[in-house]
Structure 1
Amino acid sequence: MENFDWKLTIRANILVLKVAGLWPKGSEIYKLNLYTLYFFVFINGHNFFQAANIFFVYTDLEALSALIFVTITDVLASFKVYCFIRNIAILKRLLAKLDKQIFQPRNEQQRDLVQPSLNSWKYTYTAFCIPVFTTLVLWAIFPIMDGTVKDRRLPFSAWYPYNTKISPLYEITYLYQVISVWCLAIANLNMDTLIAALMMYIGCQCDILCDDMKNLRNSVESDFNRKLLDCIEHHKTILSFATDCNKFLSGIALGQFFVSGMSLAVTMFQLTLVSPLSGECYSLLFYVSSVTVEIALYCWFGNEVEIKSSQIPYSAFESDWTGIPIEAKKNLLIFIMRSQKPIKMSAINLFSLSLSTFTTILRTSWSYFAVLRQVNAQD
């Protein structure tokens, strides 16, 4: 049977990262060269000018909130890019592991078994792209939509050491801001979805392992103990894959969760200050949707890993274990005891990626939002 190509699902994802300057060719790690230099010029320059503007508006809560929700998102994306670059060797090692024979489906039934998970990731990728690209388009054309382009308003509030109100400096700065934010957002989107794909692969391997355990039979033609040892080896390989995956995503997830709560709160506060049904209102609504889906992406697929891995010991009970030799029973018992601890994806072991974490972040965001509303009402 032809080998199953796990990376075929994320082919477009990797292609975009290559275009963004975040995917060195082959097995190479990240290097400072012309391939990656342009990406940093766009990202770090724009983030610096946005952050510098905070010192000019920090006394005005409304102006500060309008600036900070974009700035902290861009700074977070830069931090995630740094973590991605730092751990690119781990990521490429993880993708290379997917080609191992032990990770291959054993038959057509198992290929059909994992296909819904692969399709689920594809649908999620598409669903995430829609609010992100809509937000980017609205941000890019907002000065045109509300007519402030006549006053030389830029898409994003930032400080520059020159007069941006005159041509052609205004047009150049406008284009620079749009390209910078698009480049950063697209890289951020594909990093998030790639991490979700890694967790999806872990869940698929748990599905395959569960199917193998259920179909263990004790007969002349089938050596139960030998096949059980193969399943144990598969489980150890899955645990190793999950450990490396946690090393790769922990820093990114930690930054994402800490910043997202604040970002959602500031954005909801900003929604209370803009005119309803205006272009700025729609852009903020799509931005809130993008950030919410982004958090849900980590928590949903992390939760799926925990649920699917928790089914492994139950699958072992469904095997034909009643008439097996005593040695095989001992091995099966040890395996069941070991697999009772589910696989958990986490951010440096501070909190797990789960649906309960997702609801906690949303509650925290609402608390921050209530504080901002109260402070603004007092002023």
Structure 2
Amino acid sequence: MELQRIIPALFTQSEDSPVRSRDATLYLLRCIFLMGVRKPPAKFFVAYVLWSIALNFCSTFYQPIGFLTGYISHLSEFSPGEFLTSLQVAFNAWSCSTKVLIVWALVKRFDEANAILDEMDKRLTEPGERLQVHRAVSLSNRIFFFFMAVYMVYATNTFLSAIFIGRPPYQNYYPFLDWRSSRLHLALQAGLEYFAMAGACFQDVCVDCYPVNFVLVLRAHMSIFAERLRRLGTDPSESTEQRFERLVECIHDHKAILRFVNCLRPVISGTIFVQFLVVGLVLGFTLINIVLFANLGSAIAALSFMAAVLLETTPFCILCNYLTEDCYILSDALFHSNWIDGQRRYRSTVMYFLQKLQQPITFMAMDIFPISVGTNISVTKFSFSVFTLVKQMNIAEKLAKSDEDD
């Protein structure tokens, strides 16, 4: 199959194939490299630096400024629908730029996390264990491409919808360009805005999907680890010393899992916190636009934008809940292993290890609130509060009336 030859990590390998958990982030890390936030390769140093400057200047640094300057310069020329379309994206663009800077500062932690995954892979000896990781790797990469498709569909839909009505998608401010003056200026501004937004969406995929990619393969290792714990003490041919060595190996496995989590924790804490701050406002403005102002083309673009915004936090929050349950499964697995007949040293070590396993793995958003489905629902519900506030204050009707008067 041609596609399998081009992107092999998208498909589940056979159980006899060597296991590489780091392949779960293969395409993610390649795209992060294309974001221009990695060390420039010696062979293409100049080309990489120029590309990094172009992409990050347009998408990371100038785009948030362009939105704000555009509002200041031409606020009276926006229709209500255009203003809300631009505003909902502006908030997300500001948050995206912040998340990109966080990942830029901590990008080496991804390499450290993959090095820990390599350590975990050495413990996989059974065909069933390798197959479990292969499935997690392929699922992780499929989710990454799904994220990319949703985000790019939004950018393209918005661009095409705006071109159809003869206006730039967001009406950002660009010096020396006045899209009202000629078709050439309109084409140039629309092209610049599309390049900046497509670049921002590309960046957003990377900074939003990396927690899902890493945690999916972590859950596969935790499931295998649980089976390893259940088998402790069940081999009658093991000596007392060998039995204790197996337990110590499992303790080292658990330490590797905790090191992996601690390696990613600062990056996840920062990026998810930023997204939690804006998701309610962004979804609120999008709902107002869809219900009150959007035509068919802009409604489709707004719906794809809403799907992209929900993807930024929801899948990872769900995985965090599953991760907590996985920790309880680990403690149950150790408790149900054959430890009662062990020697005193073995039993006391099991008791200490059991206490450690009962401490669930959790991620916090800047140590302020837990990253979970409950928190995600709470911040998402804020969008309905924004929508209700606008309705009660008749802001939408006033904007529409003002637009008709103009």
TM-score, normalised relative to structure 1? 0.89
Work out which of the residue numbers 358, 368, 393 in structure 2 matches 1:340.
358
Gaps spanning 5+ residues in structure 2: where? Answer: 1-15, 399-406
For residue 9 of structure 1, give the secondary structure of its aligned residue in structure 2: helix
Cα distance in 1, alignment partners of residues 202 and 37 from structure 2: 11
1:251-287 Cα deviation digits (max 9, x unpaired): 10100111111100111111122245x1011111111
Alignment map for 1:161-200 (pairs within 5 Å) = 161-162=175-176, 163-165=178-180, 166-200=182-216
2:67 aligned residue: 50
* Segment drifting more, 258-267 vs 9-18: 9-18
Label 1:336 to 1:126 Cα distance change in 2 as closer, same or farther (>3 A): same
1:22 aligned residue: 37
Label 1:61 to 1:254 Cα distance change in 2 as closer, same or farther (>3 A): farther
For residue 311 of structure 1, give the secondary structure of its aligned residue in structure 2: helix
TM-aligned CA deviation for residue 66 of structure 1: 3.3
Cα distance in 2, alignment partners of residues 9 and 199 from structure 1: 10
Cα distance in 2, alignment partners of residues 353 and 226 from structure 1: 36
- Percent identity (aligned): 17
Work out which of the residue numbers 358, 372, 375 in structure 1 matches 2:376.
358
TM-aligned CA deviation for residue 174 of structure 1: 1.4
Matched, 1:216 2:232: yes
Cα distance in 1, alignment partners of residues 148 and 222 from structure 2: 28
Matched, 1:327 2:345: yes
Matched, 1:225 2:240: no
1:163-193 Cα deviation digits (max 9, x unpaired): 2222533222211111110011011112211
Contact 1:3 1:104 in 2 (8 A): no
TM-aligned CA deviation for residue 84 of structure 1: 0.5
Matched, 1:36 2:52: yes
Work out which of the residue numbers 212, 215, 219 in structure 2 matches 1:203.
219
Corresponding pairs, count: 370
* Segment drifting more, 195-204 vs 216-225: 216-225
Cα distance in 1, alignment partners of residues 343 and 362 from structure 2: 33
Contact 1:128 1:294 in 2 (8 A): no
Cα distance in 2, alignment partners of residues 228 and 49 from structure 1: 59
Cα distance in 1, alignment partners of residues 341 and 126 from structure 2: 26
Contact 2:226 2:333 in 1 (8 A): yes
What code does the residue aligned with 2:211 have?
I
Alignment map for 1:1-379 (pairs within 5 Å) = 3-24=18-39, 33-43=49-59, 44-56=61-73, 62=80, 64-100=83-119, 104-145=123-164, 148-149=165-166, 153-162=167-176, 163-165=178-180, 166-217=182-233, 219-221=236-238, 223-275=242-294, 278-375=296-393, 376=395, 379=398
What code does the residue aligned with 2:93 have?
D
TM-score, normalised relative to structure 2? 0.84
TM-aligned CA deviation for residue 377 of structure 1: 5.8
Cα distance in 2, alignment partners of residues 275 and 242 from structure 1: 43
Contact 1:110 1:211 in 2 (8 A): no
What code does the residue aligned with 2:354 have?
I
Cα distance in 2, alignment partners of residues 260 and 47 from structure 1: 17
Contact 1:49 1:160 in 2 (8 A): yes
* Segment drifting more, 15-24 vs 259-268: 15-24
- Cα RMSD (Å): 2.6
Label 1:372 to 1:103 Cα distance change in 2 as closer, same or farther (>3 A): farther
